[in-house]
Amino acid sequence: MSQPSHWFARAWQSVWGSLHVNAAPQRRKTRRVTNKSNDLLLLVTEPDGQDFWLRPGESVELHANVSSDADDFALTETEQEVSIWPSAGMSHITVWGRGRQLPCGHQRPTESPQAAPPSGYGTER
């Protein structure tokens, strides 16, 4: 495969540089969520619906890049679930525990509705 021509590389650097210069500076917004109940707590990050399950007393930290200080997480809480929505100027929300990013399904119980495949899944022939 041939190397890109010099004019293309210069043009790309110019476009990338102007995008980078004109982009709003990104800051990180964080928020700690702690399960203060005696049961598992379902934490859902929206709009992608990723699920994380917190044991009693367990804490995680939400991370997202923001464009302005006005951007913040919107939390909706019930006894068994916390849903987190990003504001318009936020990036994708990630969930961190013990210094590492947690995967979707963190500590998901096998009997949870999220663990079951949709009805009829895998029965096609």
pLDDT digits (tens, 9 = 90+) for 9-49: 455 454 444 444 455 557 899 999 999 999 999 999 999 99
pTM score, two decimals? 0.68
Q: Which amino acid is at 84?
A: I
Q: How confident is the model at residue 119 (pLDDT cuts 50, 70, 90)?
A: very low
* Beta strand segments in 58-123, E: 59-66, 74-77, 81-85, 94-97, 100-101
Q: What is the DSSP letter of 14?
A: H
Between 85 and 120, the higher pLDDT residue? 85
Q: What pLDDT score was predicted for residue 113?
A: 60
Of the spans 6-15, 17-26, 66-75, 109-118, which averages the highest pLDDT? 66-75
Calpha distance 1→38 (Å, rounded): 59
Q: Which amino acid is at 6?
A: H
